[in-house]
Structure 1
Amino acid sequence: MGELIWTGCYTADRDGNGDGIGVLSAGADGKLTSLGLAVKANSPSFLAEHPKVPVVYAVAEEGRSLRAYRRTGSTELEPFGEPWPAGEAACHVAVDPHGRFVVVTCWGDGQVILYELDSDGGITSRISAEAAVDPYDAGPGGEARPSRAHASLMLPDGRVMTTDLGHDLLRVWRFVAGEGLVTDHLVVLPKDSGPRHMAHHAGGTVFVVTEYSIEVAAVRANPDGIFELAAVVQASANGALDGDSAAEIGLSPDGRHAYVGVRGSNRICVLGVNHDGSALKPLADIPSGGNWPRHHVVREGWLHVAHERSNDVVTFRLDPETGLPDEPVSHMETGSPTALIAARRDGI
C-alpha cells in the first residue's frame, strides 16, 4: 500500500455525487488508487488529521457541524463522539500541531470557532471567536459586506491566522486555554481581493491566494511579530479570465514553487518562489485536466488535483528542475471531491 490521502466531498445534500470520506493510495509512480469509502458522511467538504492520535476531523458544510472520526484500521474510520455545532457553511478545519484544539471557519456567517481537545483527540468544548469588522465599512447608508471566514493556518510560533474572504482581512490570533482565540492583530488586504487559503513558507512568508482578484498576497512578520503586506502578485502568467475564481494554494516541499488552482478556466498556475520565500513570480499556466479544480495537494514530485465538477482527481508529475507539471499520468474517478489531505505515515 502506498501513501494514503483522505478525500472530502460534496454529497446529495449539496447536490454532489460523493458518499463520505474516501481514501486513496498513492503509488511510487504517482498514480492514485481508490481504496473505497472510509466512512459515510454528509458533505465532509474539508478534513484535518490529528498530529498525534488516529483521529480525523471533518466539517459537514450543509449540516453546520464538526465531527471527529477515529481510525479503526489503515483505511477505515468510525464516528468518535457526537457532532458539534458549527456555523453556516462551515468550510474549513485545521488542527493545532500540538493537538490542543481545532479551528473551524464558516463561509456562511463568518464565524471562527475553536474546539478544545482532550488527549485522545476528542472534542471537549466550543468557543466562538470575536466577529470580524469590515475595514472598508462604507458607513451609514453604505452597503454592508458579509463576513466570510474561509480558512485557518497554524503558525510555527503557536498563533493562528484566519482569512475573511468577505472583509478582505487576515486575522492573527493567540490561543488561550479556556478562552479560545484572542485577537493579536489584523492585516488588511486590497479591497475586493477575497483572501481564501494560505500556505506557510519555511522562510517565514505566508502566501495567501485571493479568490476574487486571482492573485497571491505575501505577508511577512516584522521583528515584533506583526505581519505586514509585503507584495501582491498576479497568480496567472496569462492573466485572469471572465468567470475565474481562485481556490487552493500549495507549496512544493522544497519551497521553490507555488501552485494555485483557478476554477472557471480550469488551470493550475505555477509561480516561482525565491530562496527565502520573500518574493514570487508567475511562471506558467497549465490546464488542470478536469472541471473546477477545487483543491490540490503537492507531494514530492507529484501534484494531485481534485475536480469537484468532473468528479475526478488528476495526477501530474512535476519536473524536478522547472517545477512545471508534465502531462497527466492518471485520472481517477471519485464523486465531487473537495479536499485532499495526506494521511499521517505512522497510521494508527
Structure 2
Amino acid sequence: MTSGYDVLYIGGYTPETGGSGAGLTVVRREEGGVLKALAETAAPGPSFLALHPRLPVLYAVLEREEGGVAAYSADPYGPGLLADAASGGSYPCHLAVDPTGSWLAVANYGDGTLAMYRLGSSGLFDGRPRIFPHQGHGPDPSRQAEPHAHQAVFGPGRALHVTDLGTDEVRRYLLGTEPDLHPEGPARLAPGSGPRHMVRHDGRWYVAGELDGMITVYDAEWREVGRVPASESSGPNHVSHIEMSADGRHLYVANRGPDTIAVFGMRDLEGAVPSRVAEVGSGGLWPRHFAVAGDHMYVANQRSDAVATLQINDGVPTPTGETFKVGSPSCVLAVAV
C-alpha cells in the first residue's frame, strides 16, 4: 500500500465474446507486491471500464454485436449490477465520463456510432442515449472500410474527442444543454494511421496509430507537428494504449507484437516530438492496456491471460515478475483506497 493505488478493477473478454475471462475481477496489491483476488462479478465481455468522478459507480462496455453498457457499484469486495442498457451501436470498445459526471460517452467500434448518455444524480443512465453515427473510410480496405470509433476523450472547452480508426479522424462534439456536433467538424489525421488512443498534454495531442505503429503529435488546432515510431522493433506492431505520467515527464505507449512498453521523455523536446528513453518488456503477450499508479504500472497482457506488475524507477517501468492470472484481460483501472 506504499503508493495508495492498491485496488485494481480488471475487465476483459469472456467466452461469449471470444475470450476466457469470468467478467469483472477485483484484486488488491498486498505488501510485497503480491496481487490478491478480492471478487469476481459475471459480465459479458466488459472490455473497457471507467469510474464516475465523484460517485462509487463503475461503468463497463459489453463488447458484443448487440452492444451493451452497464453500471456497477464500485465495491472492491463485489461490484453489483446497478443498471444496464444498449450501447447505441455494435461492439462497443471504450467509454468515458465527463469531468462533471453529467455525461457518459460510449464508442462503438463495430459500426462507428457514438452514444451519449445523460447521467442522473445517482450516476445511472437517465433516459435514452443521443446517437451520433458517422460515415467514411480510410485507405486500408481490410481495417478501414467503414468508421470504427475507438476512444472517447473529454477535453477543454466542454469538447468531446473521439478517435476513429476507420476514417483516420478525431471526431469532435460539444457538450451544451445537449451534446451536438462540433462546428469545425472532425480533425483529419495522417491517412492510414488508424488512430486508436490519444492523450493531451500542454496543449498538444499525442495519438497512437494502431495501423502505422506511430505516435503522431498534433497542436491544439490539430495540425501535425511531428511523428515518432512507437517501438524500435522492426516487426509488426499494433500500438494500443498511450498515457502520460502524473508529473508530465514521461509518455508511455503499449506495443502489441513486440510486447513492450515504450517510454518517451517529455522534458527536453526536440521540436514537438518526444525522445525515446527506454523500451521494456510488458511482462507478457499482447499488452492491450495499462494503468499507471504511483510507482507501479499494471499491464493487461491479453494473450498471456494475466496482468503484470511493473515497478517504475525514475520514470522507467521494469517487470517485477509478479503477475495475476485472469482470462483475456483488456483493461485495468487502479484505484486509491
Tell me the TM-score normalized by structure 1.
0.87
- 1:68 Cα deviation from its structure 2 partner: 1.3
SS of alignment partner, residue 90 of structure 2:
coil
The yes-or-no answer on 1:121 pairing with 2:155 is no
- 1:130 Cα deviation from its structure 2 partner: 4.5
- Asked if structure 2 preserves the Cα contact closer than 8 Å seen for 1:256 and 1:275, the reply is no
2:251 maps to which of 241, 245, 258: 258
Which structure 2 residues correspond to residues 221-236 of structure 1 after superposition, within 5 A?
221=220, 226-236=221-231
1:319 maps to which of 313, 316, 325: 313
Aligned equivalents of 1:144, 1:11: Cα separation in 2: 26
The more displaced of 250-259 and 279-288 is: 279-288
SS of alignment partner, residue 219 of structure 2:
strand
Q: Which residue of the partner structure matches residue 207 of structure 1?
A: 206
- Asked if structure 1 preserves the Cα contact closer than 8 Å seen for 2:39 and 2:76, the reply is no
Q: Which residue of the partner structure matches residue 98 of structure 2?
A: 96
Aligned equivalents of 2:129, 2:136: Cα separation in 1: 22
Q: Which runs of 5+ in 2 are unaligned?
A: none
The more displaced of 265-274 and 181-190 is: 181-190
1:237-281 Cα offsets, whole Å, 9 max, x none, are x24413x21111112111111111111221111111136894312
The yes-or-no answer on 1:336 pairing with 2:328 is yes
1:73-130 Cα offsets, whole Å, 9 max, x none, are 4432222123234311110011111011111111111111111111111101301124
SS of alignment partner, residue 76 of structure 1:
coil
Q: Which residue of the partner structure matches residue 274 of structure 2?
A: 280
- Asked if structure 1 preserves the Cα contact closer than 8 Å seen for 2:260 and 2:279, the reply is yes
1:58-85 Cα offsets, whole Å, 9 max, x none, are 11001411111124x4432222123234
Aligned equivalents of 1:49, 1:287: Cα separation in 2: 28
After superposition, the CA RMSD in angstroms is 2.4
- 1:289 Cα deviation from its structure 2 partner: 1.7
- Asked if structure 2 preserves the Cα contact closer than 8 Å seen for 1:313 and 1:331, the reply is yes
Closer, same or farther: CA 209–137 of 1 in aligned 2, 3 Å: closer
Closer, same or farther: CA 145–15 of 1 in aligned 2, 3 Å: closer
1:70 maps to which of 55, 70, 73: 73
Which structure 2 residues correspond to residues 1-348 of structure 1 after superposition, within 5 A?
3-27=6-30, 29-37=32-40, 39-62=41-64, 63-71=66-74, 73-124=75-126, 125-134=128-137, 145-178=145-178, 180-185=179-184, 186-201=186-201, 203-221=202-220, 226-236=221-231, 238-242=232-236, 244-274=237-267, 278-320=272-314, 323-343=315-335, 345=336
Aligned equivalents of 1:137, 1:112: Cα separation in 2: 22
Q: Percent identity?
A: 32
- Asked if structure 2 preserves the Cα contact closer than 8 Å seen for 1:101 and 1:114, the reply is yes
Closer, same or farther: CA 330–176 of 1 in aligned 2, 3 Å: same
- Whichever residue aligns with residue 93 of structure 1, its letter is L
SS of alignment partner, residue 303 of structure 2:
coil
Aligned equivalents of 2:133, 2:282: Cα separation in 1: 38
Aligned equivalents of 1:240, 1:161: Cα separation in 2: 31
Aligned equivalents of 2:36, 2:156: Cα separation in 1: 33
Aligned equivalents of 2:203, 2:229: Cα separation in 1: 20
- Asked if structure 2 preserves the Cα contact closer than 8 Å seen for 1:25 and 1:35, the reply is yes
Structure 1 stretches of 4+ with a deviation exceeding 4 A read: 27-31, 134-138, 275-278
- Asked if structure 1 preserves the Cα contact closer than 8 Å seen for 2:61 and 2:87, the reply is no
Closer, same or farther: CA 280–308 of 1 in aligned 2, 3 Å: same
Closer, same or farther: CA 27–220 of 1 in aligned 2, 3 Å: farther
Aligned equivalents of 2:267, 2:116: Cα separation in 1: 34
- Asked if structure 2 preserves the Cα contact closer than 8 Å seen for 1:66 and 1:86, the reply is no
The more displaced of 76-85 and 186-195 is: 76-85
Aligned equivalents of 1:313, 1:144: Cα separation in 2: 30
- Asked if structure 1 preserves the Cα contact closer than 8 Å seen for 2:281 and 2:318, the reply is no
Q: Which runs of 5+ in 1 are unaligned?
A: none
- Whichever residue aligns with residue 233 of structure 1, its letter is V
Closer, same or farther: CA 200–25 of 1 in aligned 2, 3 Å: farther
Q: How many residues are treated as equivalent by the alignment?
A: 329
- 1:306 Cα deviation from its structure 2 partner: 0.7
- Whichever residue aligns with residue 306 of structure 1, its letter is A
SS of alignment partner, residue 112 of structure 2:
coil
